[in-house]
Amino acid sequence: MKKCLVLGGGFAGLTSAVYLSKAGYKVELIEASPKLGGRAYSLKDAETGTEIDNGQHILMGCYKETLAFLEIINSLNKLEFQENLSIYFIKENSKLFQLRASKLPYPFSLLSALLNYKAISISERILMLKFFLKLPFVPHRSLEKQTVLQWLESENQNENIRKTFWDFFSISALNTSPEKASAKVFLDVIKKVFLHGNKSAAIIIPKSGLTETYCTNSQNYIEASGGIIHLSERAEEIISKENKIIKVKTGQREISDFDFVISSLPLYSLNKIIPAGNIFDKPALEYSSILTVHLWIKNNDIEKTFYGLIGSPVHWLFNHGSHLTIVISDADEFMELSGEEIFNICCEELNKYFGIKCEEITNYKVLKDKRATYIPSNKLLGKRPSSETSIKNFFLAGDWIETGMPSTIESAVKSGKMAADMILQK
């Protein structure tokens, strides 16, 4: 039986381990932290006892690789699926708008959603519709030197359209400002979301915490297949000889009993432990942050599951019943603020949009992820490495390698499957 050592237990590493386990490989996975999940995991809030996620994550129907992975580990029943796209947006003073696909056949269902989106004027909706009708015919090369903002401006998507619609999709999907993000990358994203049927645009939200949704089931699947998972064990050095990885040193031991090694570590972590030499082309990644704030209130009268906040520094609010979760993408300007300062900003926005006063909030927890994702700028186009390296038994996984997608769960899962597939072809 062939053996593979997987470094890192986030979405990418677990995906590789599950697919190799499914194919009959013996897998050993080591994770530096005392938990699985990487940047997508759950934790228990000490004061309230509530299970919360380190960041609110949603999936979409176009996440084909993620859904296939979750099906293998028997986790689809832990997700709540929309039948068709439906998003509630809110302006100050609780003015509510819905972007909702109708029951008409595709693509008329999504076109009707745009035409009935009353947060913008009729003339602006027509401008949006014209833009969508052009999407299938936009050549990728024409966008390789444009940012998202430049592209949208050239297509007559005015400031109100951008702030009321496009910024939600671009900033959430790319986790950076439209001034920095590549228009080509954004085109790929919106094509996947909007040009592949009704289900692709539908939103999927985990019914449980992330750990229960995918970490626990992944671990159970790997161990039931004979694999081994070691937590709180950090890879400290990767040793190669004659173009082959022969040993991995950790803080506890030396591991040499393997045929292949997959690293699903972030690039900044991997750079500290790989052998010298040009093993793969290392992109110059710049990072963007995400801010998550969990809040507990006395009486939760909010009706919908989630909202996009128009004209607010807060992008999304998610309603978990027991508590609320606020998400701010591209949150670099908030990273140096104190927890109390961030809480006060959130209080102000909750009052403006939902009429929730600060004194109604009984507790809060601020979670900062300063290197949540890399920035998908034009200078990165064609610079991300493939899964295969110059060392014949060493492969890469992670949302930062070349998957054709920005830094998302889908990219991480796809990368993990790519690494496993390459090993299975050896």
Burial bucket for residue 298 (CB in 10 Å: 0-12, 13-18, 19+): exposed
Confidence (pLDDT) at 141: 87
C-alpha to C-alpha distance for 407 and 135, rounded to whole angstroms = 22
- The number of angstroms, rounded, from the C-alpha of 349 to the middle of its chain's C-alpha atoms is 25
Task: Please state the rounded mean pLDDT for residues 148-166.
Answer: 97
Burial state string for 113-141 with b = 16 or more CB within 10 A and e = fewer than 16: bbeebebbeeebbebbeebbeeeeebeee
Contact 395, 261 (CB under 8 A): yes
Q: Percentage of the chain with pLDDT > 90?
A: 94
Dihedral angle over CA of 281, 282, 284, 288, nearest 10: 130
C-alpha to C-alpha distance for 157 and 144, rounded to whole angstroms = 19
Residue 140 has pLDDT above 90, yes or no: no
DSSP H or E segment with residue 199: helix 198-201
DSSP H or E segment with residue 185: helix 183-194
Burial state string for 47-73 with b = 16 or more CB within 10 A and e = fewer than 16: ebebbbbbbbbebbbbbebbbebbebb
Residue 404 has pLDDT above 90, yes or no: yes
Confidence (pLDDT) at 59: 95
What is the per-residue pLDDT across 97-126, written as a single tens digit (0 to 9) for each?
Answer: 999 999 999 999 999 999 999 999 999 999
What is the per-residue pLDDT across 21-68, written as a single tens digit (0 to 9) for each?
Answer: 999 999 999 999 999 999 899 999 899 999 999 988 889 999 999 999
pTM: 0.95
C-alpha to C-alpha distance for 351 and 357, rounded to whole angstroms = 5
> Helices 216-224 & 11-22, crossing angle to 10 degrees?
30
Contact 413, 12 (CB under 8 A): yes
What is the per-residue pLDDT across 345-385, written as a single tens digit (0 to 9) for each?
Answer: 999 999 999 999 999 999 999 999 999 999 999 999 999 99
Q: Percentage of the chain with pLDDT > 70?
A: 100
